Chains A and B, each alone.
Chain A
Amino acid sequence: MDLIAPLLTGYGIWAPVTWLVAFVAAVIVVYLLWKTGESSYKKGTELERPYLSGNVEPEKGAVHIRASNLYWGFLQALKGYYDVLVPVHTGILTDYMIWFVAVTALVLVIVGMLS
């Protein structure tokens, strides 16, 4: 058995080991470039403090962007979609049961008519 044989997808191939070798080579190149950079950084000095146009640095908890602030634009763009989808998830057991029975009935009609 060839352990590193590429995955045959029926349409193409995927050779992860080759990809990994290329990835490691790229990481080495990036590391070498990084090593050529400025090395005067000193830990624990003024260099570590953020510069916010002269303003005082806010509390640590205040600068972290929380989950609810992420993808606001995406959710707004799809507001119509979410206005329909979210209310369907009522959390009410009887609603879940109605969905279950209704979908079963629908599939029964489809299978009964088309098969």
Chain B
Amino acid sequence: MTVADFLFTNAPALLVVIPLFAAFICPVAGKISSTIRNLWVMGMMLVTAAVAFILAFRVFVTGPVLYVFGAAAANLAVPLDSGGIPIRIIFTVDAMSAFMDIICAIVGVSVLLYSLSSESRNSGLEGYYTLFFLMIAGVFGMVSTGDLFNFFVFLEILSLASAGMIAYRIDGGLAVEAALKYFILSTLGAIFVLFAIGVYYGQYNALNIAMIAQRMQFTMLDKIALVLLVAALAMKCGAVPLHFWTPDAYSMAPSSVTAFLVVASQASLYGLFRVVFTMYNITMNCVTVGWIIIIFGVLSMVVGVTMAIPQKDIKRLMAYHAVSQTGYMLLGVGVGLAVLGNTTLTSAFGFMAMEGGIFHIFNHAMYKGLLFLTAGAIFYRIGTRDLNRMGGLGHTMKYTMIFFIIGALAIAGIPPFNGFASKLMIYESVYLFNPLLAIIAMVVSILTLASFVKVFHSVFMGPKLPEYADVKEAPLPMLIGMGILAAIVILFGLFPQPVVDILVAPAAHALADQGGYIASVLGGA
């Protein structure tokens, strides 16, 4: 077997194994020298990203990829002597999972490159990179696994690593407090998830998502499990009114970490969508659950943006916008779910709403990651997040300003950037479902623009302030990290239809096609 064959066959496992290996070797590399450590982490991140792209390519070309740990063959999901139950840990990577893998890979590379400069002045970097790779492993595991308990394990790995990263700067105890809030809420959410898993296992004697989906009866116990999962994952993705940890954690974490926390939140959003579409689908009352997700979405959009406007801390402001943007994803996919049982409405606008919501996940990861990185570059140079103390930085931090403008216009849904494309899909499809929801979404975009005009003016405009006379542009690795995301924001905005055709539509189909998912796992039994 050649290296290429090995990579191609074992890509789902390598997606988790490589970051874990990188994480635990990192302290050893750091003992040798900081240069060796930096080369190690960058090299491992690039290899991980390459594996993610190889896997995604395979999925989009040939269909879902199964990886059964410990089986005689990688796709042997159901052993002959298991009574028809897929007992092993199975990674089921369909187009939706591959879509998330691509997001994680791109943001991971950008953030790591950025971190090489942004964190270079800090101590404890071995721990930083170890936790970063654990976060990477957690996200890849969550979006790739086809096993509910395994999902819980990766969720916990992600939560623990994220809490460590949020507390990384300590910051007089404020960062530790933010991390503690995140950690305890995450633990409570994890208990909900574990309880739900126990319910499924007790009823269906299985932990495999496809198996549970096939046997789903939608009993009262299933309703309880559904609600626990929806609430826990909605909290983890920062949906209002479960969003309270988000501004605390996002603002106190290093900006590079915050950019990746966006992806971590989206992994929970993925989990939420996987539960309602793949596990329950039309066995549940899609209208009720769809509207619950829509209400989460509308509340997130409105509360997020209105809370952002009065903020004086640049990262706290951006954190509230992250909440607001999550609302668009919940709205789009929620509308798709609400009409899932109606073929006519699904083909008329429901599927388009789902595509818009899913496309927005990608776009949001890129422009929100970019915005957090620009905030980090500003903090790196002037040492404050207080908007009231900023001004005139456009004179000296020109590239950072350009990247900020690109991110700000994208998040506000201004053409021709990527945020506009996905928001347009959401507006038009949601308008056919309920015009009021589409109008709210558009008003929220206007308020988003207003909020970022305030940030732009406060940070970059005005005369060159005497206290920042010596401020320089951000270091090159930070600019390259921002540049990668900015380039994607522009490219995906200019050429949205190929992106929808190649990445988004297959992901939406994979999510909606419960039968296909079940067949991909159990059909080969």
Point out residues on A near B: beta carbons under 8 Å: 1-12, 14, 16-17, 19-20, 23, 59-61, 63-68, 70-71, 74-75, 78, 81-82, 85-86, 89, 91, 93, 95-97, 99-101, 103-104, 107-108, 110-112, 114-115
Quote the shortest CB–CB distance from A89 to chain B (angstroms).
6
Distance in Å: Cβ of A92 to nearest Cβ of chain B: 9
Are B457 and A65 touching (Cβ within 8 A)?
yes
Query: Which residues of A are found within 8 Å of B247, using beta-carbon distances?
Result: 89
B244 and A103: CB pair below 8 A?
A: no
Q: Is the interface of B mostly helix, strand, loop or mixed?
A: helix
Given contacts A60-B392, A70-B457, A108-B224, contact A97 B497 (CB under 8 A): no
CB distance from B237 to the nearest CB of A (A): 13
Contact A68 B388 (CB under 8 A): yes
Question: Is B223 positioned at the interface, with any CB of A under 8 Å from its CB?
Answer: yes
Q: How many residue pairs, one in A and one in B, have C-beta atoms under 8 Å apart?
A: 169
Contacts A16-B421, A85-B306, A93-B184: A1 and B312 contacting too (C-beta < 8 A)? no
Is B87 close to A, CB under 8 A? no
Q: Which residue of A lies closest to B387 (CB)?
A: A67
Residue of A nearest to B465 (CB): A61
Q: Which of B121-129, B225-233, B515-523 contacts A (4 or more CB under 8 A)?
A: B225-233
Q: Is the CB of A16 within 8 A of B496?
A: yes
* Residues of chain B at the chain A interface (Cβ within 8 Å): 180-181, 184-185, 188-189, 192, 218, 220, 223-224, 226-228, 230-231, 235, 241-242, 244-245, 247-248, 284-285, 288-289, 292, 303, 306-307, 309-310, 312, 348-349, 352, 387-388, 390-392, 415-416, 420-421, 424-425, 428-429, 431-432, 450, 454-455, 457-458, 461-467, 493-498, 500-502
* Across-interface contacts of A96 in B (CB, < 8 A): 181, 185, 244-245
Q: What are 8 A-to-B residue pairs whose CB atoms are below 8 Å?
A: A5-B497, A9-B425, A11-B429, A14-B415, A96-B181, A100-B242, A103-B241, A115-B284
Contact A20 B306 (CB under 8 A): no
Cα-based distance from A70 to B390 in the complex (angstroms): 14
C-alpha spacing A78/B447, complex, angstroms: 13
Contact of A9 among B185, B192, B288, B424 (CB under 8 A): B424
Contact B496 A14 (CB under 8 A): yes
16 extra interchain contacts, Cβ-Cβ under 8 A, other than A4-B495, A11-B349, A14-B496? A2-B498, A7-B496, A10-B349, A14-B424, A23-B416, A61-B467, A67-B455, A68-B388, A85-B303, A89-B307, A96-B181, A96-B245, A103-B241, A111-B223, A111-B288, A111-B292
Tell me if B242 and A20 are in contact (CB < 8 A).
Answer: no
Do A99 and B241 touch (CB < 8 A)?
yes
**Is B387 a contact partner of A66 (Cβ separation < 8 A)?**
yes
In contact, A112 and B292 (Cβ under 8 angstroms): no
Residues of chain B within 8 A of A111, CB atoms compared: 223, 226-227, 285, 288-289, 292
- For the complex, what is the distance from the CA of A103 to the CA of B462, rounded to whole Å? 45
Minimum CB–CB distance from B511 to chain A (whole Å) comes to 17
The complex places the Cα of A97 from the Cα of B188 at a distance, in Å, of 8
Please state if A112 and B181 are interface contacts (CB–CB under 8 Å): no
* CB-contact partner of B466 in A8, A60, A115, under 8 A: A60
Residue of A nearest to B227 (CB): A108
Name the residue of chain B whose CB is nearest to the CB of A14: B424
- Note all chain B residues with C-beta closer than 8 A to A81: 306
Contact across chains for B465 and A64 when beta carbons are under 8 A apart: yes
Docked CA distance A95–B243 (Å): 12
Tell me if B500 and A110 are in contact (CB < 8 A): no
Shortest CB–CB separation between residue B17 and chain A, in angstroms?
Answer: 34
Q: Closest approach, in angstroms, between the C-beta of B188 and any C-beta of chain A?
A: 6
When chains A and B are docked, how far (Å) is the Cα of A42 from the Cα of B218?
A: 77
Which of A1, A5, A81, A103 neighbours the largest number of chain B CB atoms within 10 Å of its CB?
Answer: A103
CA distance A9 to B428 in the complex (A): 7
Q: Please indicate the chain A residues that have their CB under 8 angstroms from the CB of B303 in the complex.
A: 85
Query: Is there contact, CB below 8 Å, between B235 and A100?
Result: yes
